[in-house]
A and B are shown apart, each in its own frame.
Chain A
């Protein structure tokens, strides 16, 4: 398979994770203290490097069929979680994930917390917040890079996609020194959910022993079909929500008049 779809999929998925990590780091660094924030970030990156060094080679020793079954199942579950949230947000059943409000919440919490020096770190709160944020989002990046790269036998292309996404988000974040509020995060998550679900379904079924009609070309059908079905779910929930609102309106008008 051409490396470009792999690079683009990993790029978009990792960009979403990087935006979320950047929001936490910026909120902590700007309101509290940069030194402890950077220490937390650095500690998380070290832990991530250790996990990658331990898990990466171990995964490549697994038989490909077992790997595809397990990884396919996990990716399909992750993808469906992302799709579920994106559809609920697009139809108003769940509030949109707003980086600006997430940033303000983090800022308020950071301002309220007391400063405490521990284990050579001058502000333990900043350290732990940056550590947790970078580790959690980083784990998802590592999982995406290793699974996509290993399954497509092209770890290099997956690393390029992830590195480009992180660099783009960090450079933009440094330039604007604010959370990236203009990023259409919900639609990015919707797109990533479709890709993760498609790749997960494809690899999972292959791992279970299926031979896809058209081999790899089946992915070119799976992706648009999953997008169409998810779009249909948005339409279904959107019209249900709108008809519920219409049904409620005459009552309020009668009450109002």
Chain B
């Protein structure tokens, strides 16, 4: 069981990294982009770059908010 846990922790760390919010925002951005394109019919090429910039800003803010 501990080996399985370590295996899972390795892949979580490899893929998600230090801040899971970044991965969540990118995934949400992709999901909403797909919805806009396939359901609403909007070519939302601008949405993912906005999500990427927002994810980086949010993650940096969280990492530095309580530090000098």
Contact = CB atoms under 8 A, between A and B. Distances in A.
A148 to B, nearest CB: 17
Nearest to B67: A93
A210 interface: yes
Interface string A219-251: 000100110011001000100110011001000
Q: For this complex, into which size category does the number of interface residues on chain B fall?
A: 20 to 34
Contact of B56 (A69, A210, A213, A230): A230
Nearest to B64: A93
Contacts of B31: 208
B37 to A, nearest CB: 4
Interface residues of A, number: 43
B44 interface: yes
A205 interface: yes
Contacts, number: 100
Contacts of B45: 205, 210-213, 218
Contact of A73 (B18, B26, B44, B64): B26
15 contacts: A76-B26, A77-B15, A84-B59, A85-B18, A91-B64, A200-B26, A204-B30, A205-B45, A208-B33, A210-B33, A210-B44, A229-B53, A237-B60, A237-B64, A244-B68
Given A72-B30, A212-B45, 15 more contacts: A73-B26, A74-B15, A77-B15, A78-B17, A81-B17, A87-B56, A88-B64, A201-B48, A204-B30, A205-B30, A213-B45, A226-B49, A229-B56, A233-B60, A240-B64
B63 A88 contact: yes
Closest A-B pairs by Cβ, 9 of them: A209-B37, A81-B17, A208-B34, A208-B33, A205-B48, A210-B45, A77-B23, A80-B22, A76-B26
